[in-house]
A and B are shown apart, each in its own frame.
Chain A
Amino acid sequence: MSEATAQTTSPAAASAAAVPAVPRSGWHVATVASTRRETPNASRIELEVDGWPGNAAGQHLDVRLTAPDGYTATRSYSIASSGAGTRVTLAVDRLPDGEVSPYLVDDVRAGDMLEVHGPLGAFFVWAPDAAHAAAAVDARPVQLIAGGSGVVPLYAMAEAHGVAQDPTRFRLLYSVRSPDDVYFADELRRLAEASAPLQLDLVYTRRAPDGWRTPPARITREVLESAVIPAAERPRVFVCGSTGFVERVADWLVELGHDARSIRTERYGGT
């Protein structure tokens, strides 16, 4: 979300395309309620955010940290939770040469206070029909495609879909290095079994579980074709992950006949 671009017929069309009214963003004081290891390389952080206006599934926020000498560092993180209330869940991946993520993954603890700015972004969002009744005509299925930590905003959408028991067909294709690297593993399993089911397709790129039907490999165009709601069904597609992952997947989706205007992307720049 930042460098200029987008695929939409027009701004008017974009704003009519099931984008919920999002609360105005602002700076808030957040207190860490709990933190726990999510994967070997990531932590889940529950924040209690003073004055948080709630957020739509898929939005993000900025976190600002301040050192004793006044030096600050600010980074954007996708939000893994949605809805009303002042609880906000993050799941942060530790970047090898990161400045903020190692602190959030390894050092932060319950009771610590951070500054957050948000909620941010109104394009890479999904809301259940009840939340945008005006767009209830839009019964198009939803295909989520995640690479690694890119699952965070997509998990927020899948969870919102489950909570609302929304009848929209939902499918998540999730590429991970190994079984240990799956974020929200238990939650996703429960969502896949729930009454508003989520179809979950996992692709392991480096190590698969014992007895897995295919050897570990990166997503190919063929996998994409078999594990994604077909273009003929006109799914709305949300893709999130590293730049390379998103570029590859989005290009293949267009080649497979998906309308570029139906594909929304969030690229993690790795900074």
Chain B
Amino acid sequence: MSFITRGFSGRSRERDERLPPGQTLVHDFPVLSAGPTPEVDTAEWEFTIRTESGEHRWNWDEFTALAIDDVDTDIHCVTHWSKLGTSWRGVSLDTLFEHVETEQEYVMAHSYGGYTTNVPLDELLDGKAWVAFEFDGEPLEPEHGGPARLLVPHLYFWKSAKWVRGLVMMDQDEPGFWEQNGYHLHGDPWTEERYW
């Protein structure tokens, strides 16, 4: 239903094909959170995957001793900013799920501080998602989700849960925190799955 806005010319016309519809390129790294930033000590930190059959658990030392990937990727926030060519280091979900047996197809990611977000398992495997603990060669800052955050770059960035502490497998897809507050269950930037 688009129509021309009188008097608006806009800025650059460099349509970068890496930019999904409705997104604008930024060079800073905006922070968007629903509450205060939790301070999580790596000495206390642990990561768990809970399935119908049991629990898999890693502490910080065990976790950072796993195979680590360097990830160069674009990220897209639902509030219309995108950053291109960001660099992260973290553990692939393929590595974490290597010895996890589950028939369940949906995941709820849980964070320190109580935040949750839902993602289907097949959106997390085959090189599509990581638990990242470094950004731009530095330990991930708390306000950006440190010590570790989920990184699911092919979905809007609220799915990349900050301060992640575990994944709980589910039989069916259920809305997490932002999803209950108006955001899309799935969140594909390329089809603009922003809101429900």
Chain A positions within 8 Å of B, measured between CB atoms, are 1-11, 14-15, 19, 22, 24-25, 27, 29, 62, 64-76, 99, 103, 107-108, 112-115, 117, 120-124, 243, 247, 250-251, 253-254, 260-261, 263-265, 267, 269-271
Given contacts A3-B158, A5-B163, 19 further A-B contacts (CB under 8 A): A1-B34, A2-B178, A4-B158, A5-B33, A5-B111, A10-B116, A15-B180, A25-B196, A68-B4, A69-B13, A74-B80, A99-B11, A103-B5, A122-B180, A123-B34, A123-B181, A253-B36, A260-B36, A263-B35
CB-based contact A269/B34 at 8 Å: no
Main secondary structure of the interface of B (DSSP, over half): loop
A99 to chain B: closest residue by CB:
B11
- Which are the 8 A-B pairs with shortest beta-carbon distances? A269-B30, A7-B35, A6-B34, A250-B36, A5-B33, A6-B115, A2-B32, A4-B161
Name B7's contact: one of A14, A76, A112, A263 (CB within 8 Å). A112
B158: chain A residues at CB < 8 Å are 1-4
A260: chain B residues at CB < 8 Å are 35-36, 38, 113
B37: chain A residues at CB < 8 Å are 5, 247, 250-251
Name B28's contact: one of A6, A25, A253, A271 (CB within 8 Å). A271
A15: chain B residues at CB < 8 Å are 180
Name B3's contact: one of A25, A113, A247, A250 (CB within 8 Å). A113
B24: chain A residues at CB < 8 Å are 73-75, 99, 271
| A22 CA / B47 CA spacing, docked (Å) | 35
Report the stretch among B55-63, B64-72, B84-92, B142-150 that lies at the interface: B142-150
Q: How far is the CB of A16 from chain B (nearest CB, A)?
A: 11
CB-based contact A8/B177 at 8 Å: yes
CB-based contact A6/B35 at 8 Å: yes
**8 Å CB contacts to A: which residues of B1-33?**
1-11, 13, 22, 24, 26, 28, 30-33
CB of B157 closer than 8 Å to a CB of A: yes
CB-based contact A11/B31 at 8 Å: no
| A114 CA / B8 CA spacing, docked (Å) | 10
CB of B120 closer than 8 Å to a CB of A: no
